[in-house]
Amino acid sequence: MQLHISPSMRSITISSNNGFTDLMKIKVAARHISYRTLFHTILIVAFLLPFVFILTALVTLEGANKCSSFDCFGRRFGPRFLGRVDDSGKLVRDFYKIFNQVITEEIPDGLKLPDSFSQLVAELKNNQYDAKTFAFSLRAMMEKLEREIRESKVSELMNRHFAASSIPKGIHCFSLRLTDEYSSNAYARRQLPSPELLPVLSNNSYHHFVLSTDNILAASVVVTSVVRSSLEPEKVVFHVITDKKTYAGMHSWFALNPVASIIVEVKGIHQFDWLTRENVPVLEAIESHHDFRNYYHGNHIAGANLSNTTPQSFASKLQARSPKYISLLNHLRIYLPELFPDLDKVVFLDDDVVIQRDLSPLWEIDLQGKVNGAIETCKGEDEWVMSKYFKNYFNFSHPLIAKHLDPDECAWAYGMNIFDLRAWRKTNIRETYHFWLKELQEGSDLSTF
């Protein structure tokens, strides 16, 4: 099909290549025609043309002897299906009728599905279908494709989940090598920060960040990104908390790769007296409880019903089941006031964030006696991410939940939280947390995942 505009811009000729030359010729009469009008004319014609063409083709082929594709299509479906061509309303009605019928009926057993659309067309041409079989085939093909897409989407999510939570092969021994360095290299063991800087760790004129992770690379990314984006890097103090097995490696990393001008402290949970005394046993029980382990580390596809699982719900399930949620390190935030008894305010960062802006204004926010400042995840542009309320996380069929919580309360992101530790110390948040942990251990049907 061609669109030809005459050099004088007075006429537009549209022609198709197969004999319908000069099917339409539009003469533009006005002498001083605006380009705007011309543009609109072209647009309208270009949209109309396919319909005009198809109608003309059908009318032409109706009387033709030789079997063109349109004609065969019509005859095979029979007069009832295509009706008289000029009776286009009837055609559409018949179409609807057949598709409506097919939607509610069972797809016949043993319906042989073509592998592709072109095979469907080929079989159509070879006179193999009546209208109903054709509609069934179309429906079955679409359902099959939908199923396949859903399944591959789910396995893609699964693979991404594992890829994201595992260590790339190239650095399998990264942590091990750093640990080895710790025992053999005195510089890797040196005190962090150096003794003259120790008072800074509890000086509230500085900006204190807390990062709790067993992932050395991630910790390095978070620390470096904070420093790079900071307008006052000399005020930044990092408290990196890690578990016993990662402690030596984490310490070596920050000792051997000092981040310019900032102060980094590395602590293992075994070094907090307060933690080991009474509280860690509660948390460790969670981490090692068989059912919990299975829930977070198990085969996530096994129990899932793929025919009623959407990729989105599967993704959020995987996200909720990330093993890091039962890691002791993840529960540490609840002990911040006790872990840092001298500090008034801290910013707690998750290990999967990259900071791109200066965060110092966070310390100037007046929390008005509140404990936690965070970003709400129920208002915002992204409909999926920003639509999270308590009802998305908790099982409100459970009487205990229904009694204590409001389903329409906005949820919040905890990738970056500011905590007012002075306000926190006046509350009994920790006891409440322990209460819920105990409930969770006794019967795990409190959450919706």
Per CB under 6 A, residues contacting ligand NAG are 199, 203, 205, 305, 307-308, 395, 397-398, 445, 448
Count Cβ atoms within 10 A of the Cβ of residue 337 and give its class: 0-12 exposed, 13-18 middle, 19 or more buried: buried
Looking at the Cβ atoms of 86 and 445, the one nearer to ligand NAG is 445
Output the smallest distance, CB 84 to ligand NAG, in A.
43
Output the smallest distance, CB 417 to ligand NAG, in A.
24
Output the smallest distance, CB 260 to ligand NAG, in A.
18
63 vs 85: CA distance, rounded Å: 11
Looking at the Cβ atoms of 170 and 199, the one nearer to ligand NAG is 199
Looking at the Cβ atoms of 200 and 217, the one nearer to ligand NAG is 200
Token pair recorded at residue 356:
């791109």
Residue nearest to ligand NAG (CB): 445
| Residue 20 amino acid letter | F
Looking at the Cβ atoms of 122 and 402, the one nearer to ligand NAG is 402
Looking at the Cβ atoms of 328 and 411, the one nearer to ligand NAG is 411
User: Using alpha carbons only, how large is the chain's radius of gyration in Å?
Assistant: 34
Output the smallest distance, CB 446 to ligand NAG, in A.
7
59 vs 444: CA distance, rounded Å: 69
Token pair recorded at residue 196:
């003259």
3 phi/psi in degrees, rounded to 5 = -120, 120
Burial 104-127 (b: 16+ CB within 10 A, else e): eeeeeeeeeebeeeeebeebbeee
CA atoms within 13 A on the CB side of 22: 2
Q: How far is the CA of 153 from the CAs of 141, 142, 149, 156, in angstroms?
A: 18, 16, 6, 5
Output the smallest distance, CB 83 to ligand NAG, in A.
38
Q: 14 and 23 in contact (C-beta within 8 Å)?
A: yes
Looking at the Cβ atoms of 1 and 231, the one nearer to ligand NAG is 231
Looking at the Cβ atoms of 388 and 398, the one nearer to ligand NAG is 398
